[in-house]
Amino acid sequence: MKRFTSFLVACLWMVSAVPVSAAVQKSEGFVPFVPTENEFASAIVMTAGTHKVLYGFKPEQPRVAASLTKLPNALALVSQKPRWGRIISITKADEVGGGRLRVPNGSTISVQDALYSSITASANNTATALARTHGGTKAFLKKMNAEAVRVGAKRSAFYDASGMDPRNMTTARDIALIAEAAFANPVVRRAAQTGTYRFAIQNTGDAKTIRNTNDLLADTHKVWVIGGKTGYLEESQYNLVVHVRAMDAEGKPVYGRDLLVAVLGSPTKKGSFFTAERLAQWAWNNHAF
């Protein structure tokens, strides 16, 4: 009975998945992607640039965005052409809970360091400070939503700048498009692919070291990460979106085979990374593009 139930679940997942584009599917030896039970709530694999959907499971289903919200935050920021060396403060109003840059209220840092703290380490207080200091929170949120629509993310809505508000919603398809646009900016891309970042608090001189929340940057994984962002709330479970490039046997990037992979609602953080890499490897093995 257990084997039959597992088979039935696998069949239901396959029926729910978006059809693969025949234009890029390999004509021989194609193996469908079959998720394990409860592996994720929704997911998508698209070719970067052309946006051909190679795999999708409920890719248009709205899901709580959590810290993936920091990507439209980055889009709104770079649209203003910020001065990266400008100094801003972290105030009590920026402390919205969750992961944070651990500094006292009144600490001052550069805009670039605030962006890295937001994207690399997923700090909520620095993401909130960026919104407050770049036109005010209300106007900044309006810009975040406008930037999402501009890149084609029409089923997303953002109500705070950090991702702590569970009303922030996106879809697998939407966040893949948002991520691609955000990582097209060189400063955001570097922040999203940097494993460890060090900087100084301007008014105290204290040294800070932050680390990336994206485990796919580790050498144990066989994907070349162009950029990535994680997210978690109890309401969303573990979210991940990555722009990845294939690697050859020597560990060098293979240009022209970039993918956008979004995995939303994974039960575990480790599982979200495993799934994203598995989806990418499946796409490279089963599609010619």
- 174-183: pLDDT as tens digits: 999 999 999 9
Q: Smallest Cα–Cα separation from 192: which of 200, 202, 183?
A: 183
Its pTM stands at 0.91
What is the model's pLDDT at position 219?
82
Band (12; pLDDT cuts 50, 70, 90)? very low
- Model confidence at 135, pLDDT cuts 50, 70, 90, reads very high
Q: How confident is the model at residue 289 (pLDDT cuts 50, 70, 90)?
A: confident
Q: What is the pLDDT of residue 186?
A: 97
Predicted pLDDT at 142: 98
- Residue range 109-113: average pLDDT? 98
Contact 65, 262 (CB under 8 A): no
Please give the average per-residue pLDDT across 21-37, as a whole number.
Answer: 75
pLDDT at 215 over 80: yes
Helix H segments across the chain? 2-16, 70-79, 111-119, 124-133, 137-150, 172-183, 186-193, 269-286
For 248-268, what is each residue's pLDDT tens digit? 888 888 998 999 999 999 999
CATH superfamily of 20-286: DD-peptidase/beta-lactamase superfamily (3.40.710.10)
Q: Phi and psi at residue 89, in whole multiples of 5°?
A: -110, 155
Q: Is the pLDDT of residue 10 over 80?
A: no
pLDDT exceeds cutoff 80 at 203: yes
